Chains A and B, each alone.
Chain A
């Protein structure tokens, strides 16, 4: 049936986009605590993945059926208590049957109840979307998160303990220091680099990979600047003509909106002279309703310059801080637009993942985005 095929395609696209391309950990930097501290062995990783998946699914159902009726400030603790329903049974089972494994995982299993990824996804997607959509997003996020946890667990157990699944391996020179949290972050860094390189080589994205981090072109201001030292408010650098956002409003699929606002509450300013679109960088075209103010004046005479130039996207009242803080915006109670089909092309290499309506035009100096099956000129080495 055509509708079944379409639904299957949509599910596949969501899985590929959310679980892999826009991985919540490697791109969004969400849910880091259990990975950095608790993922020290494959068994621990499996326990953490299982607790996370169960918590996410329970929250998906609860948010969709019940919690959407509550105000946000009541929903937030509800997510934690519902995730507890996954954590406590897991902990009880380990306490009665595998005490050593519980000691290995430690408090990081309990901290799954307050996972930022579960709360964020519940608030952004599960409350607002259909059940089918919520399920596909939840499944994708769980798959992506579990994959990262297991990968980090594998690396750290092999290189940090010299074992695999608790079985000692002979002639393996291991570094116990990698079992510390810094080892987890290091493993995440190299995994993220591998992921980024793979995406750059095999996926011709029509926009840039949404990234939580900094605008490479802008020299960000200090953390806190005394009022007397503040220069005149700087406007964002104007985008080159080819990269300017279109005049017509940008419409985007629901999941792209979610991904956009999860990892980046507001789009960064375009980067003049930066690498062309299709390379993996953190820069996006600014939506047309974004302001270009880069500094928010706080009461008390200090201006805390945002690290990246956040766009004001939700029309706040005058007495509120104009620019949107990413953490808050990610949990803003916005209606998610109806989902739009996201289809994979037949060759499977191109993903219509992002908002740029100009994506059909090549940025200056860049070959047009092409499916991965064709050779790309100027293809970047990771």
Chain B
């Protein structure tokens, strides 16, 4: 059962203690855009979790292969990105030909798969020598972290939208960036440092 607790703790860690979006800046473009129109938030976050879990798990298993583990930075990046692309292609084929998914659905899946939050996870897991349970847990947590980030940004932007006193130079993206910065500062109390370098 320890693998379950490892998985759970890794997921909670990725959501709360070191929110991947605010601690590392991963997936913030998608989070901000989804916060503007959060209509498909759950679907998008579900896709992120799905692709994160699969990619992290496959990459973690590949890392157990000595030949792959011995590769340098560039080769490892290529392998992990190739795994991500492959996972997406298999999923897209299944959606397209199996489930007759619409173009919009496939596009959502593509944007969710091919973003920095999903690709960052296997790279981070390798850097921290995370086990399979931790990798899967972090993947699961990434979707929840995305939802939390989008919800916080959306709530903040709603507040800012009602604020008529924002100086003209700051209206729009400037004040949004400052708000996200303060959110990231607030959540850095747990991590206190750079998430991964």
Contacts and interface: CB of A to CB of B under 8 A. Distances in A.
A81 B188 contact: no
Interface string A299-325: 000001011101000001000110101
A80 B33 contact: no
Nearest to A194: B169
Given A194-B169, A223-B151, A307 B36 contact: yes
Given A95-B73, A189-B178, A382-B169, A33 B151 contact: no
B107 A214 contact: no
A211 B172 contact: yes
A113 B82 CA distance: 11
B74 A91 contact: yes
Contact of B172 (A76, A94, A196): A196
A32 B103 CA distance: 26
Interface stretch (A232-240, A274-282, A357-365, A369-377): A274-282
B119 A280 contact: no
9 contacts: A179-B194, A186-B181, A190-B178, A212-B32, A212-B36, A216-B161, A220-B161, A307-B35, A382-B168
A110 B81 contact: yes
Contacts of A281: 168, 171-172
A182 B181 contact: yes
A31 interface: yes
A36 B176 CA distance: 14
A119 B170 contact: no
A219 interface: yes
Contacts of B84: 80, 114
Most buried by A among B30, B34, B172, B196: B172
Most buried by A among B29, B40, B196: B29
B34 to A, nearest CB: 7
Interface string B120-152: 100110010000000000000000000000010
Contact of A182 (B74, B174, B185): B185
Contacts of B155: 223
Given A73-B106, A215-B161, A33 B26 contact: yes
Interface in A322-361: 323, 325-328, 331-333
B17 interface: no
Given A26-B173, A32-B32, A323-B37, 11 more contacts: A37-B24, A72-B106, A88-B74, A107-B123, A113-B119, A188-B181, A196-B169, A196-B172, A214-B160, A223-B154, A304-B38
B28 interface: yes
A31 B28 CA distance: 9
B58 interface: no
Interface string A103-129: 111110011011110010000000000
Contacts of B151: 223
A192 B160 contact: no
A181 B23 contact: yes
B2 interface: no
A235 B143 CA distance: 33
A113 B25 CA distance: 16
B158 A220 contact: yes
Interface in A17-48: 26-27, 29-37
Interface stretch (B8-16, B60-68, B88-96): B88-96
B54 interface: no
B169 A304 contact: no
Contacts of B73: 91-92, 94-95, 102
A149 to B, nearest CB: 13
Contact of A320 (B102, B169, B194): B102
Most buried by A among B27, B111, B127, B167: B111
A185 B106 contact: no
Given A33-B28, A189-B174, A281-B171, A72 B103 contact: yes
Contact of B38 (A32, A307, A381): A307
Most buried by A among B30, B81, B96: B81
Counting from the closest, the 5 A-B pairs by CB-CB distance are A36-B25, A189-B177, A185-B181, A182-B184, A106-B197
